[in-house]
Amino acid sequence: MMASVAVFSGILLTIWLIQWAYRWRNPRCSGRLPPGSMGLPLIGETLQFFTPNTTSDVPPFVKERMKKYGTIFKTSLVGRPLVVSTDPELNHFVFQQEGKLFQSWYPDTFTEIFGRDNVGSLHGFMYKYLKSLVLRLFGPENLKENLLHDVEKSVLNSLSSWSGQPSVELKEATSKMIFDLTAKKLISYDPSSSSDNLRKNFVAFIRGLISFPLNIPGTAYHQCMQGRKNAMKLLKTMLKERQNSPRRQCMDFFDSVIEELKKERPVITETIALDLMFVLLFASFETTSLALTVAMKLLTDNPRVLEELKEEHEAILKHRENPDSGITWNEYKSMSFTFQVINETVRLANIVPGIFRKAVEDIKIKGFTIPAGWGVMVCPPAVHLNPEIYKDPLAFNPWRWKDKLELSGGSKHFMALGGGLRFCVGADFTKLQMAIFLHCLVTKYKWRAIRGGNIVRTPGLGFPDGYHIQFFPKTCC
């Protein structure tokens, strides 16, 4: 009798598992889903997505599926069903329908990493309110009046210190340069007088940011979560100290945020404030340092581009009454070829492999249906490296941007800094840092590559063996 029950139970379990696997591979939909594979139950195609690659082209995960299924396909990553779009028209539609048919969304693992109340997870009024707060620091007025000169001073000091060393690992060095400046502006952080190295926690955080979400000791994801935990602990301590100092003057951006918390009816909570500071500290330096490292590699490998860049900046010096005076705002805005170099760098770098949104209702488009609740991953590399949009797309050709309008937001064919309502609020700050760095570099220094510079994507961009550079003052032989 017991044996019969066991056999019957086993049959029922097998039938249930088969049905469950079938439902996983064939999700319900009121219309026609895009073609594609949902992969293994629960895991989906996550392992393939995170497989390292060294190509400069469209990531193999995406390219292989584009060949098989077309520009729009379905998949499943970290347990969530997704539609992946490499179609410029659909991408543009997704960004334009923010807050209507789509809303900002990231997989659950990203939410755990950045905090459940991070700015990317907030919508409507709350998002616009936080954006207005951030623009106090990164908006055009503060860039012109304060950050332009602060960035130049930081870059000159850094280049001077690097030129006395036999070799500098560029990604690490530029990360430190940018983090120290932005952390000072955000939280008055002084690494030389602090017992806690905040940047080390962010380095640990970054290493596992785009990794397989296995939270056990020894994995990159676990290190990422520990880095977040330690950084948040420091920020919470700082918040309490400032709240217990009622007579403290407003000195930095964190003080401005705390002033918002002190209002009779504050719009934000302490959790939102802390998650905001965490995201800003991360976003303010990681992507910019990667872009600068890629720019240096591309300039080193393309002397013709470097020569024209030098000519533009040497012309700026020639027109100054005092060659040693600081950069003016008008000089910065005149750096047309420099902005072409920056655009081309971020187009090729594709630092952000995917931008996520979620359908808030069933959406019929391009002959397919995106079910309510499904994620949509817009894939910038597939657009930026499309030969029908960019001739010879893998070539570093800044001249392709000549006479193009200045990019003040994302477009159908360029979304390196996002698009729609959520176009990167720090985009102008990023461009300013890169332009000032390149100006100081080519007018005052020479350099040579020592070793490294190999890129690996997992799928985020990284330099596993670094990029080691030796700097020389131009007055040196």
Annotated binding residues for heme, written as ranges, equal 424
What letter does residue 405 receive in the DSSP assignment?
A: P
CA gap 106, 85 in Å, rounded: 15
CA gap 7, 12 in Å, rounded: 9
What letter does residue 83 receive in the DSSP assignment?
A: E
Structure tokens at 162: 């690097």
What letter does residue 120 receive in the DSSP assignment?
A: G
Q: Which CATH number fits domain 119-350+385-473: 1.10.630.10, 3.40.190.10, 3.90.45.10, 3.30.390.50?
A: 1.10.630.10
CA gap 431, 137 in Å, rounded: 15
Question: For residues 280 and 202, is the Cβ–Cβ distance under 8 A?
Answer: no
How many Cβ atoms sit within 10 Å of the Cβ of residue 211?
17
Structure tokens at 278: 């965490």
Question: For residues 204 and 224, is the Cβ–Cβ distance under 8 A?
Answer: yes
What contacts 177, CB < 8 A, 6 or more positions away? 154, 155, 158, 289
Question: For residues 374 and 81, is the Cβ–Cβ distance under 8 A?
Answer: yes
CA gap 14, 8 in Å, rounded: 10
Q: Which helix (H) or strand (E) holds 206?
A: helix 198-207
Q: Before 27, cis peptide (omega within 30)?
A: no
Annotated binding residues, written as ranges, equal 424
Q: What is the pLDDT of residue 195?
A: 44
Q: How would DSSP label each residue in 411-449?
A: BTTB-TT--GGGS-TTHHHHHHHHHHHHHHHHHHEEEEE
What contacts 463, CB < 8 A, 6 or more positions away? 171, 293, 452, 453, 454, 455, 456
Q: What is the pLDDT of residue 198?
A: 72
Q: What is the pLDDT of residue 123?
A: 60
State the angle between helix axes of 253-261 and 170-187 in degrees (0 to 180), rounded to the nearest 10: 40
* Residue-level pLDDT, tens digit, the chain, 477 residues: 666 655 556 666 666 555 655 566 778 888 899 999 999 888 889 889 989 999 999 999 999 999 999 999 999 988 889 999 999 999 999 999 988 999 888 766 666 666 666 555 556 666 777 788 788 888 889 999 999 999 999 999 999 999 989 999 999 999 999 989 998 888 888 776 654 577 776 666 666 655 566 677 877 777 777 777 888 888 888 888 888 887 777 788 888 888 888 888 888 888 888 888 888 887 777 889 999 999 999 999 999 999 999 999 999 999 988 877 889 999 999 999 999 999 999 999 998 889 899 999 999 999 999 999 999 999 999 999 999 999 999 999 999 999 876 666 668 899 888 777 777 788 899 999 999 999 999 999 999 999 999 999 988 898 999 999 999 998 755
Rounding to the nearest 10 degrees, give the CA dihedral for residues 260, 264, 267, 268: 60
Question: For residues 360 and 336, is the Cβ–Cβ distance under 8 A?
Answer: no
Q: What is the pLDDT of residue 243?
A: 82
CA gap 450, 462 in Å, rounded: 18
CA gap 462, 106 in Å, rounded: 21
Beta bridge partners of 368: 365
Q: What is the pLDDT of residue 398?
A: 97
Look up the pTM and report it.
0.89
Question: For residues 419 and 355, is the Cβ–Cβ distance under 8 A?
Answer: yes
What contacts 435, CB < 8 A, 6 or more positions away? 332, 335, 338, 339, 342
CATH architecture of 26-116+352-384: 2-Layer Sandwich (3.30)
| Domains of the chain by residue range | 26-116+352-384, 119-350+385-473
Q: Position 32: which residue type?
A: R
What contacts 180, CB < 8 A, 6 or more positions away? 154, 189, 191, 199
CA gap 365, 72 in Å, rounded: 11
CA gap 299, 312 in Å, rounded: 14
Question: For residues 411 and 87, is the Cβ–Cβ distance under 8 A?
Answer: no
Name the CA radius of gyration of the chain, rounded: 24
Q: Which of 398, 381, 293 is nearest to 339 (CA)?
A: 398
